[in-house]
Amino acid sequence: MERLKIWAQALKRDVIAIWIAARSGRTPWIARLLAVCVAAYALSPIDLVPDFIPVIGYLDDLILLPLGIALIVRLIPPQLMAEFRDEALLRSGPPNSNIAAALVVLVWIVILVLLGDWMLKKVG
């Protein structure tokens, strides 16, 4: 259980470090692009798949985010990632991404509109 707690803390630190990396001009462009996507989603107050949906709701938190973070960490030079991790430890808390929250809400609206249109075509 202690190993899991340490892993979760390291993951949380890396999310913040990736958010910092996404904003740094020293980060390779492909890592920046992926970092923006992963950090914005991880720091968004709204999940694309809500956690109350059994199994699937936690899939992004347990599988997709750690895989995305691991990929980004491999794309950033180790010395640079160490700097970002140090800076992440100095931050008092995770930043919020209101833009990511708005994008998630927009995705859900589009899905609901498309679903509604499909249902109207089937019923009508």
List, for residues 52-95, the tens digit of each pLDDT value: 777 777 776 778 788 888 999 999 999 999 999 999 888 756 55
Sequence-distant (6+) residues with CB within 8 A of 48 are: 41, 60, 104, 107, 108
pTM of structure:
0.61
pLDDT at residue 55, rounded to an integer: 72
Give the Cβ contact number of residue 123 at 10 Å: 6
Average pLDDT, the chain: 82
Cβ–Cβ under 8 Å, residues 77 and 21: no
Mean pLDDT value of segment 110-114? 90
Mean pLDDT value of segment 21-45? 84
86, two tokens: 């140090």
pLDDT at position 29 over 90: yes
Q: Where is average pLDDT lowest: 4-8, 51-55, 111-115?
A: 51-55
